[in-house]
Structure 1
Amino acid sequence: VGEQLLMFTQWGASEVRAMRGRHLHGLGGRFALNARQFSNLIATPESAGREIFRSVFDTDANGLVDALEAIVSFTLLSQMTIKDKVDMIFTLYDFNSAGQISMDELVILLRTVLSGASKM
């Protein structure tokens, strides 16, 4: 884990749930985030958030990051139990709230988890 991400290894379930709440309610559940929105997502000052955004997540330098990729990455880094991590990620990708993940949702889940993990 890169030095910029170490603080997220200290996050527990409450911090991850709060981040998810900020994504849903403060950011409207959008899929692409700019640096300011990313900083809001992780509740850090914009300068610190912008550095993580730029150096870790915006690998194609287009000024946007995948919100789900970021949320999954921080969830995986957290101190949550494996079960809680799986439950959080499942809920994140159960887009239609059916209580199950479709094949399309699973493909999106796997792509973003692998992409996020490769950046850590």
Structure 2
Amino acid sequence: MAEASVAYRGFVAATDAMYRSGGRNVTALNKYASGVMLKAELIEAEKFRGDKWHSVGSLQVVWIKPLSIGKPNASGQIDNLILSACVDSSKAGAVDSKGKSVRPPGTPTQTVDEMRMRRVQGTWKADFAQSRKPAKC
């Protein structure tokens, strides 16, 4: 569980770096994301590049807790689990090339992710967002 939590924090940091770079810095995404999440973040990077957006500030993971843990594989190792995590974006936001905010009014600044984490070739990665809901945390 601890390794998956560290990997989730790495995933948030990698997406944060991608957004701050305007979608150009995607190198760390491969280290922390796989499957659907990797594809989704690469699509977001493309959108940010195309729209000439970038983010300012940083996302913060407030807390992480396990929701469910998968069954051990044949060698007794857990290869997947679902984490719940609160991500605060109150000190971050996306802006256009002129520095104007592109965050729609009323957009929540805290969300609770339910993220499936999967061990891929021995490394935990964010694999699929079960849900992402606005919440106070």
Fold in common (TM above 0.5): no
Greater Cα radius of gyration, structure 1 or 2:
2
TM-score, L = length of structure 2: 0.29
Q: Which has the higher contact order (CA 8 A, sep 6+)?
A: 1
Structure 1 or 2: larger strand share?
2
* More helix per residue: 1
Q: TM-score, normalised by structure 1?
A: 0.32
